[in-house]
Structures are given as structure tokens and as C-alpha cells.
């Protein structure tokens, strides 16, 4: 075979792609990082919170440089009915100090920043370049990519596909068996501007401290969830919607966001804030159920392209899985190139790393969680049942004496039409996943 143009071509300048490029370039490999937008991050959007712990390995003291909005020191999980809200609220001062935990950040800032490290490591970052297909060698192994540039073919020993949730490359390589709408959710978000002092006051935080609110039950008849995050002088509010349900319920995404913003528990928080940017993105929601094969001869798949997104109710993570899988793909590519074997077997270090770390361990542990969280009972029956129990426990109904909590539970379960058997089964699934 002729000498390839480069050792590694990484497709996609998101968190997976940049981490893959950083690792490969630092090991001395020649690396090109292709980005179809005008800058890395320009196509990327998420709810708004990143957990960068895994970056400790690549960028020590990353928090001194990272373009974050606020450090999340307050996490709320909220359950809504039309007229009720039950919130579990946790705050920790520790999360507001190094080494920190989660942060709110905008992806165009974050991804652009991370790609800077790839460039500093020696990777060539090529923007405005869309990859349109794979190049294969005589034996059918992946040997590079075709781009939409004139003379745009680029051959490489290893292609690392970090081309996002739609991953046309993983599909072209035959790594996905099928694409099913029920495995995806649509995230739609409004970035709202509001003065910092107003945010600090409304959300009871100071300095660079911020709030992460995850919401169950705020999306009407469409299965999904809501979120509200604080930026420095912005709020990110939006919904995540199960695709088949969204289409079937005939409700438009922006109307569901408007519905959430109008909820009595949310409206006072977002009042007077002006729309700065409306955006949307797909989420590979189904975890292990939908994951493709991630290695083939000459190619690795990482990040959203490999459906490495954890959507497990109380845990909503993606960028950390992207950064880790990109890093491990980079390491495996280095190993394979140095050993002179970029076949599927030569690249097997990738799958091993994924299996040995949180990337697949969390997914295995939580494999039933996405389906449970988006199930009709969790979405449409339990929030009302639980909120009614809370309301009756705290409601003072003198001259009647207080009823026992067990009796309230039994009555509300019946009233909600929840069978004891289903409740026990869901409880057991939840316990096995989250416990």
C-alpha cells in the first residue's frame, strides 16, 4: 500500500474528536482534525452542563483555563404536574472550589477551547470541511475519508469517526444495524439573557456558583424531560423529547418549551429573560441498546457517533463520555500505528479501554434506566401520584386528624391507576440501576 497522507484523521472537532487528536498528536503521530463548521463547536449544542473530571489526565488544572459559565454547586431534581412541583435540592460548597465537579458552559466555547489543545499538540485542524464518505483499501478496510474540498481525499492509517449523533461514517462502515426513531430524543433549548445579579438572587447563588435543575413531568403528553441551567448572565431552558411520541402527540417542540416556561414553578425564574438563541440537537438516548460496533479495520467510532451518551434520569452526561472515548480511541490508534497493525485486531485496545472504564461500566449498570425514565408510568403516572402524596402529607386538614403516610400512598396509587405489581417492578428496576 502507498504511504498514507497522515497517521490519523479525526472527523469532527467536538469533545471526542479533540481529545482523540490531542492524544494521538502528543504521541508524535501526524494528525488531521476535520471540522465541517467554521470553527470547532459551531455545530454543537447540548443542555448546558459538562463534568470534565476525565480531563485531569490530559489537561492538568484545566479549570484555570476552561471557558466555563458557572460551577454547579446546586443540583435540583424537580417533578412537575400542571399545578404542583416537588423538588429535591442539593448544594455543596465543595463543588465551587478546585478540583470542582460540574460546570455550565456553551459548546461553541468549550469545543473551540478544547480543539486549541489539539492544535497545540501538533494536530492540523482543518475547518469548513465536510467529510462525505470513506475511502477503503482493496481488502475493504477503511483507509481514509473523502471531503468536499477540491482534491479532498485524505488517506490515513486510522480514521477516528467523531462525527456526531447522525454518524454517517459509522453507518457507511456498516457498524450500526439500524436506526430507530425510538432510540433518539430531540433536545430544544432557549438561551435567555438575564443580568447576573438577577440570576444570583433568583437562584440563591453567588460569584461563579450556579444551578442545574433537571425536570421530570414538564413536557405534557410527550415523554421526555426538562432542564434549566444558569450561565453567568444567561439561562438555558429547554426540553428533551422522545421522537416517536413528539410526532404522535402533534405538539411542536417550541410549544413544549413555552409550556415549561409557563409552569408556575418555572415562570418566576425565567420572567423577563429575553431569547438570545434558539437551538436544537438530537440525543442518542437509548444507551447500550443502540450502541454500534465501535471498531472496524482502520476505523474507530467515539462520542455521540457511538451513542456514548448517558441519559439516565438523575444523570444526564455526554461530553465526559465523548472526551473519554475520544481519548481512548486516540490511545488505541497510537498503539496500533506503533505496532504496525491497524486491523480490527490491532485496534482492539479501544474496546478494552471502554469496557474497563466508566464509559461502558456506567452504561452497563444503567442499561435499563433510559427506558424506565421515559416509560409511560414514570412520565405520566408517577409524578402526579408522588406530588399528591406530598401535598396530602403537608396539607393540614383540621379538624380531620393526620392520615398515615402508608394509607395516603395506597390511596394515591389506586387513584393514579398504578398497579402494585408495576410499581414494585419499576422500583426494582430503578433500584438495580441506580442502587
Where on the chain is the footprint of other proteins (CB under 8 A)?
36-39, 41-45, 67, 69, 106-109, 112, 127-130, 132, 147-149, 165-166, 168, 179, 181, 184, 186, 188, 243-244, 246-247, 249-255, 257-258, 261-262, 275-282
The CA distance from 112 to 39, in Å, is 7
Residue 142 is placed in which grid cell?
477503511
Q: Are strands 224-230 and 234-242 parallel, antiparallel or unpaired?
A: antiparallel
Backbone angles phi, psi at 71, to 5 degrees: -85, 130
CB of residue 8 to other proteins, shortest distance in Å = 20
Compare residues 56 and 277 and give the one whose CB is closer to other proteins. Answer: 277
The CA distance from 318 to 311, in Å, is 8
CA 222 remoteness from chain centre: 20
Compare residues 79 and 291 and give the one whose CB is closer to other proteins. Answer: 291
Compare residues 56 and 82 and give the one whose CB is closer to other proteins. Answer: 82
Residue 325 is placed in which grid cell?
472515548
Compare residues 39 and 63 and give the one whose CB is closer to other proteins. Answer: 39
Compare residues 284 and 383 and give the one whose CB is closer to other proteins. Answer: 284
CB of residue 23 to other proteins, shortest distance in Å = 25
Compare residues 280 and 410 and give the one whose CB is closer to other proteins. Answer: 280
Task: Name the one residue in this structure whose C-alpha cell is 422522545.
Answer: 242
Compare residues 138 and 275 and give the one whose CB is closer to other proteins. Answer: 275
CB of residue 30 to other proteins, shortest distance in Å = 21
Compare residues 143 and 222 and give the one whose CB is closer to other proteins. Answer: 222
Query: How big is the chain, counted in residues?
Result: 435
The CA distance from 345 to 217, in Å, is 46
DSSP state of 402: P
Compare residues 93 and 177 and give the one whose CB is closer to other proteins. Answer: 177
- Contacts (Cβ under 8 Å, ≥6 apart) of 129: 34, 35, 36, 147, 148, 149, 152
Other beta carbons less than 10 A from residue 30's beta carbon: 18
CB of residue 270 to other proteins, shortest distance in Å = 11
CB of residue 310 to other proteins, shortest distance in Å = 20
Residue 27 is placed in which grid cell?
504521541
- Contacts (Cβ under 8 Å, ≥6 apart) of 407: none
Instruction: For CA atoms 198, 204, 207, 211, give the dihedral sign.
Output: negative
3-state SS class at 139: coil
CB of residue 111 to other proteins, shortest distance in Å = 10
Compare residues 45 and 311 and give the one whose CB is closer to other proteins. Answer: 45
Compare residues 264 and 417 and give the one whose CB is closer to other proteins. Answer: 264
CB of residue 236 to other proteins, shortest distance in Å = 12
Residue 280 is placed in which grid cell?
436544537
> Within 3-67, where are the H helices?
15-26
CB of residue 311 to other proteins, shortest distance in Å = 16
> Within 252-348, where are the H helices?
253-261, 267-270, 319-339
CB of residue 177 to other proteins, shortest distance in Å = 15
The CA distance from 155 to 135, in Å, is 7
Longest dimension (CA), the chain: 89
CB of residue 86 to other proteins, shortest distance in Å = 26
Judging by beta carbons within 10 Å of its beta carbon (0-12, 13-18, 19+), is residue 285 exposed, middle or buried?
Answer: buried
How many Cα atoms occupy the beta-carbon half-sphere of 73 within 13 Å?
20
Residue of 309, 351, 358, 312 whose CA lies nearest to 332? 351
CB of residue 365 to other proteins, shortest distance in Å = 27
Amino acid at each position: 500500500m502507498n504511504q498514507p497522507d497522515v497517521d490519523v484523521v479525526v472527523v469532527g472537532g467536538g469533545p471526542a474528536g479533540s481529545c482523540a487528536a490531542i492524544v494521538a498528536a502528543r504521541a508524535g503521530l501526524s494528525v488531521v482534525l476535520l471540522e465541517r463548521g467554521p470553527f470547532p463547536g459551531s455545530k454543537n449544542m447540548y443542555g448546558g452542563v459538562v463534568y470534565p473530571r476525565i480531563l485531569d489526565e490530559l489537561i492538568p488544572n484545566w479549570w484555570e483555563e476552561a471557558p466555563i459559565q458557572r460551577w454547579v454547586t446546586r443540583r435540583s431534581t424537580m417533578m412537575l404536574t400542571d399545578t404542583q412541583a416537588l423538588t429535591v435540592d442539593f448544594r455543596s460548597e465543595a463543588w465551587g472550589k478546585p478540583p470542582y465537579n460540574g460546570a455550565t458552559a456553551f459548546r461553541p466555547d468549550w469545543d473551540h477551547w478544547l480543539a486549541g489543545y489539539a492544535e497545540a499538540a501538533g494536530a492540523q485542524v482543518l475547518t469548513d470541511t465536510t467529510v462525505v464518505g470513506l475511502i477503503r483499501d482493496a481488502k475493504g478496510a477503511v483507509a481514509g475519508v473523502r471531503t468536499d474540498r477540491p482534491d479532498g481525499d485524505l488517506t490515513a492509517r486510522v480514521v477516528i469517526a467523531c462525527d456526531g449523533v447522525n454518524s454517517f461514517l459509522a453507518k457507511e462502515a456498516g457498524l450500526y444495524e439500524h436506526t430507530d426513531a425510538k432510540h433518539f430524543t430531540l433536545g430544544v433549548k432557549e438561551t435567555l439573557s438575564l443580568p447576573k445579579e438577577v440570576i444570583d438572587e433568583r437562584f440563591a447563588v453567588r460569584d461563579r456558583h450556579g444551578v442545574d435543575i433537571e425536570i421530570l413531568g414538564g413536557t405534557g403528553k410527550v415523554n421526555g424531560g426538562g432542564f434549566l441551567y444558569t450561565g453567568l448572565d444567561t439561562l438555558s431552558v429547554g426540553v428533551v423529547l422522545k421522537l416517536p411520541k413528539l410526532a404522535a402527540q402533534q405538539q411542536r417542540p417550541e410549544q413544549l418549551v413555552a409550556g415549561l416556561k409557563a409552569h408556575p414553578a418555572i415562570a418566576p425564574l425565567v420572567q423577563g429573560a429575553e431569547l438570545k438563541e434558539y437551538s436544537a440537537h438530537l440525543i442518542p438516548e437509548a444507551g447500550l441498546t443502540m450502541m454500534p460496533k465501535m471498531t472496524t479495520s482502520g476505523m474507530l467510532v467515539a462520542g455521540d457517533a457511538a451513542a456514548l451518551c448517558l441519559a439516565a434520569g438523575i444523570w444526564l452526561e455526554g461530553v465526559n463520555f465523548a472526551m473519554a472515548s475520544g481519548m481512548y480511541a486516540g490511545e488505541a490508534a497510537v498503539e496500533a500505528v506503533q505496532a504496525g497493525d491497524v486491523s480490527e485486531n490491532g485496534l482492539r485496545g479501544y474496546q478494552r479501554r471502554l469496557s474497563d472504564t466508566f464509559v461502558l461500566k456506567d452504561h452497563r449498570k444503567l442499561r435499563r434506566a433510559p427506558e424506565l425514565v421515559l416509560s409511560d408510568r414514570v412520565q405520566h403516572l408517577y409524578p402526579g401520584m408522588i406530588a399528591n402524596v406530598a401535598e396530602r402529607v403537608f396539607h393540614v386538614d383540621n379538624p380531620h386528624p393526620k392520615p398515615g403516610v402508608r394509607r395516603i400512598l395506597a390511596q394515591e396509587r389506586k387513584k393514579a391507576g398504578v398497579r402494585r405489581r408495576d410499581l414494585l417492578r419499576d422500583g426494582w428496576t430503578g433500584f438495580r440501576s441506580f442502587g
